[in-house]
Amino acid sequence: MVAAGEPWDEVVAQTIQEGLAGVECLSGIPGLAGATPIQNVGAYGQEISEVITAVHVWDRRAGQRRVLTPSSCAFGYRDSAFKRDPEAAVVLAVELQLRPGGDATLRYAELRRSLEQGGRPSLARVREHVLALRRSKSMVLDADDPNSRSAGSFFTNPVVAPSQVEALVEQVVREGVVDRADAVPRHPTEDGRVKLPAAWLIEAAGFRKGDRRGAVGISSRHALALVHHGGGRTGELLAFADEITARVRERFGIELQPEPVIVGEPWAGGAAKR
């Protein structure tokens, strides 16, 4: 069991030190352990819901402690019952079922490619490579890296029907965005739909890494991260996010959704007039 207030990356480091597989690909994610079930945190082919066996919460409405099963948490892609109803409960602790001596999870192609040499990788080596990949995209906190002044990935990867993917592929080949159909990245999901990389859609819609709108902009290392360069306001960031969402929708008919929970400002999803 991990208490909610434990720094998450320290938890991951400890599991690897003890030879416990199951969260090694979630290395380098900032924040506390109690946040992981709320977002159903995931990265590089792993999601925390894969190893959660119970979530201990304080039920704010009933005024009592409860232990929730994974099914009660209603986990989804970057989603959970906690996220959908944030006033319902406070996470106190998370129980994880890890694999002593287990193999690392190597579902993510980019991570597999980085580990091609040297045979079966240790958990420590996988963590090292995950951290290196995240650092190359400014997705670890670094006071010396201005691109790390972000909330991480701002948009989730849209999951759409195969017919939408076929239409997208036909369009981008016809318009010369790509020269062949297999150049469009996509990943089939278990429910028969297809996940599209939001970063690819953003760049295909005409945005570029490093684009700025005054004090805010797109990271120069990763098109999914919206960066604050200093002196800006939340409204400016959301206005830029609205612009990105609107253009992706207009170009491809695909809706982007924010991954962070936005507090105190409305999210118009491309329709805001700021």
In the residue annotation, 27 being an active-site residue is answered as: no
Task: Give the active site residue among 49, 80, 148, 153.
Answer: 153
Assess contact for 36 and 48: CB atoms under 8 A.
yes
In the residue annotation, 10 being an active-site residue is answered as: no
What are the CA-CA distances from residue 40 to residues 45, 61, 71, 114 (Å)? Answer: 13, 23, 13, 25
Q: Which two tokens stand for residue 55?
A: 């979530």
In the residue annotation, 163 being an active-site residue is answered as: no
Task: Give the active site residue among 6, 50, 78, 221.
Answer: 78
Q: Which two tokens stand for residue 132?
A: 């290196």
The DSSP-derived string for 165-213 is HHHHHHHHHHTTSSSSGGGS--EE-TTS-EE--HHHHHHHTT--TT-EE
What are the CA-CA distances from residue 161 to residues 156, 165, 175 (Å)? Answer: 16, 7, 21
Q: What is the CA radius of gyration of the chain?
A: 19
Task: Give the active site residue among 6, 128, 259, 265.
Answer: 259
Question: Taking the chain, what is the end-to-end CA distance rounded to the nearest angstrom?
Answer: 45
d(CA 59, CA 257): 28
CB burial of 180-203 (b: ≥16 within 10 Å; e: otherwise) equals: eeeebebeeeeeebbbbbbbbbbb
d(CA 110, CA 132): 12
Please identify every residue annotated as catalytic: 78, 153, 259
